[in-house]
Amino acid sequence: MTQPSPYAPPGSPPRAEFLDRIVQEVHRRVVGQDYMVERLLIGLLTGGHVLCEGLPGLAKTLAVRTLADTVDASFQRIQFTPDLLPADVVGTTIYNQRTGEFVPHRGPIFAHIVLADEVNRAPAKVQAALLEAMQEKQVTIGGETYDLPKPFLVLATQNPLEQVGTYALPEAQVDRFMLKVRVGYPTREEEREIMRRMSTGSDIPVQPVATPADILSAREAISGLYLDDRIADYILDLVAATREPKRFGAAELEPLIEYGASPRATLALAACSRAHAYLRGRSYVVPEDVKAIAPDVLRHRVITTYEAEAEEVSADDVVRRVLRAVRVP
């Protein structure tokens, strides 16, 4: 007989059948990349923006566009380039000769799901305009503020290899992304299936199987998932260990960390852990949920020192050591 979880409250687990249909439709086009697809779903279910980083040709853009196609909602793709202007993203005011007034012309940011493709190619002014939309869920056009549609989600991609013509994202903007996902190569069998499936050259259709109301309803259910006090303490300890590793028996990390994660990381880790549990049909969070999602929440919020760079220690390495140092409840 299965023992009840010590972290579980009484009650039945949540149900979200439409999520299975979304995953099924996405995999009609996208072969493999289960990790990335699940993280995109977590972003959709929590309202947290997602930054996908990986080499060209790994289906980042295809996965985002396909996910948007499975939701019966508005979608816009913005191709970021060095000559892009803020008005190209948020919109501008246009003079109406008939009325003699300036009227707002809304930009592509006014969509439920926005794909910011190669986001690190845009200059600082565009990044600032995108930052307001991501954080405040609103934009300013001609001195007037306009709310963005609900749900609103930015799914961004960037290429870590090519640096020519790119602009490093400001730390403040990177911190607005709830998740930063590393996208890797497919397996040999997955690549064989990609070659077979894409050899025809024809587009593979997918059907919308969810609505914005479904997404908002799921978000409400996720926010109510049970989070035991021991799990909450574990999340707090993980974030605190990125600031004061010595207190958790990892003094060797102190010279490697310039800045630890902010309280925004604590909130993101709790929300994403709930979504991770929800995707597995549980109504409560267990430590494995926190450990599974922690690298994606923390890797872009831990700033390493020059010493770490000299020793070729990355933020991912630091997060792995933090996870080993903090005691699991």
Q: What is the pLDDT of residues 95-110, one digit of tens each?
A: 777 777 777 778 888 9
173 shares a domain with 77: yes
Can you give the pTM of this predicted structure?
0.86
For residue 151, whether the previous peptide bond is cis, meaning omega lies within 30 degrees of 0, is yes
63 shares a domain with 188: yes
Backbone angles phi, psi at 250, to 5 degrees: -125, 55
Q: Where are the beta strands (DSSP E) in the chain?
A: 49-53, 75-79, 91-96, 101-106, 113-117, 138-141, 144-147, 153-158, 177-182, 257-259, 303-304
In a domain, 82, yes or no: yes
Q: With 80 as the cut, is the pLDDT of residue 160 above it?
A: no
Q: Which residue has the higher pLDDT, 291 or 59?
A: 291
42 shares a domain with 179: yes
The owner of tokens 């149900």 is 15
Work out the number of other CB atoms within 10 angstroms of the CB of residue 23.
18
264 shares a domain with 123: no
161-170, 203-212, 216-225, 292-301: which has the minimum mean pLDDT?
161-170
232 shares a domain with 191: no
In a domain, 162, yes or no: yes
Overall number of domains in the chain: 2
Query: What is the per-residue pLDDT for 27?
Result: 87
| CATH code of 119's domain | 3.40.50.300
In a domain, 11, yes or no: no
190 shares a domain with 71: yes
Rounded to 5°, the CA angle 82-316-46 comes to 70
In a domain, 315, yes or no: yes
Res. 230 pLDDT band, cuts 50 70 90 = very high
Q: State the angle between helix axes of 263-279 and 212-223 in degrees (0 to 180), rounded to the nearest 10.
A: 110
Cα 126 from chain centroid (whole Å): 20
- Highest mean pLDDT: which of 108-117, 219-228, 289-298? 289-298
pLDDT by residue (tens digit) across 51-87? Answer: 988 887 788 888 888 888 888 888 889 888 888 888 8
| Three-class secondary structure of residue 21 per DSSP | helix
In a domain, 144, yes or no: yes
171 shares a domain with 31: yes
58 shares a domain with 126: yes
The residue from 149, 180, 215 where one domain ends is 215
Of the chain, the percentage scoring pLDDT greater than 90 comes to 20
Res. 1 pLDDT band, cuts 50 70 90 = very low
| Three-class secondary structure of residue 103 per DSSP | strand
- Whole-angstrom Cα distance, residue 42 to residue 59? 18
In a domain, 3, yes or no: no
In a domain, 7, yes or no: no
Find the domain containing 312 and state its range. Answer: 225-325
Nearest to 287 by CA among 273, 266, 301: 273
| CATH code of 246's domain | 1.10.8.80
Residue 254 · residue 245 · CB < 8 Å: yes
184 shares a domain with 84: yes
277 shares a domain with 193: no
Residue 119 · residue 77 · CB < 8 Å: no
181 shares a domain with 246: no
247 shares a domain with 187: no
Query: What is the per-residue pLDDT for 60?
Result: 84
| DSSP letter for each residue of 260-319 | ---HHHHHHHHHHHHHHHHHTT-SB--HHHHHHHHHHHHTTT-EEPHHHHHTT--HHHHH
The residue from 215, 248, 275 where one domain ends is 215
Res. 165 pLDDT band, cuts 50 70 90 = low
Q: With 80 as the cut, is the pLDDT of residue 147 above it?
A: yes
In a domain, 2, yes or no: no
